[in-house]
Amino acid sequence: MAKPLADIASVDPHGEFPFDLGTYFFNILLVAVRHRDARLEQLVRPIGLDLAMARALMVIHRLGSCTMNELADYGATDRTTMTRIVDRLVRAELVKRDTPPRDRRKVVLCLTSAGVRSLAGTAELTMADNDGLLDGLPEHELRAVARLMQKVVSRMVDEPHVLKRVLWES
């Protein structure tokens, strides 16, 4: 027999949050991510990108060049979705696919000069927005939250090579 919802729904015993700390933590994280994504989506739209495209450009740039698997892992996106994103980037002539002569099965992605210019505009807008959102927040608190999120993510990602990628560890 299922428990009544009142028995399942818990509250923060300290009264600081509207429900138990674990549930509230993930809820507020989701709210932050969704609002952040909406802001970034609007920022990159005038450049002719959507947020997924802008993020893929950033990952490819940070890596110098990468395979589809690396892009999917670093971008924390499934490979099928990432393939569609890359197809749009290639059509927009922002990314090119190359096949190394030594391994014809491998596809390497790299930015075109137009991709670099698009990324520069995106990065400038994103960094300005980051600065505005985080202005006045103590760096030690931001670092503590970032370290906490690394720990939480490490409990969710089972594959060590994927974990290293999503945490951007070398």
pLDDT exceeds cutoff 60 at 127: yes
Question: What's the length of the chain?
Answer: 170
- Own/partner contacts of 106-110, CB < 8 Å, gap of 24 or more, are 106/67, 107/67, 107/68, 108/65, 108/66, 108/67, 109/60, 109/65, 109/66, 109/67, 109/68, 109/71, 110/60, 110/64, 110/65
Number of H helices, E strands in the chain: 8, 3
The dihedrals phi and psi of 89, each to the nearest 5 degrees, come to -65, -40
Residue range 114-126, pLDDT digits in tens: 999 999 989 999 9
pLDDT exceeds cutoff 90 at 105: no
Residue range 37-54, pLDDT digits in tens: 999 999 999 989 999 999
pLDDT score recorded for residue 14: 86
pLDDT score recorded for residue 2: 62
Show me where the domains of the chain are located: 20-129, 139-170
pLDDT score recorded for residue 101: 83
Q: What is the mean pLDDT of residues 71-88?
A: 92
pLDDT exceeds cutoff 90 at 156: yes
Q: Structure tokens of 54?
A: 């802008």
Which pLDDT band, with edges at 50, 70 and 90, does 148 fall under?
very high
CATH class, range 20-129: mainly alpha
Which pLDDT band, with edges at 50, 70 and 90, does 7 fall under?
low
| C-alpha distances out from residue 28 to 10, 66, 94, 154, Å | 16, 33, 34, 19
**Cβ density class 99-129: b for 16+ within 10 Å, e for less:** eeeeeeeeebbbbeeebeebbebbeebbeee
Q: What percent of the chain has pLDDT over 70?
A: 95
Cβ–Cβ under 8 Å, residues 167 and 148: no
Which pLDDT band, with edges at 50, 70 and 90, does 15 fall under?
confident
Cβ–Cβ under 8 Å, residues 53 and 94: yes
Residues in Cβ contact with 59 at an 8 Å cutoff, skipping those fewer than 6 apart:
66, 71, 74, 75
pLDDT score recorded for residue 118: 93
Which pLDDT band, with edges at 50, 70 and 90, does 104 fall under?
confident
DSSP letter at 159? -
Q: How far apart are CA 54 and CA 123, in angstroms?
A: 9
Q: What is the mean pLDDT of residues 23-41?
A: 95
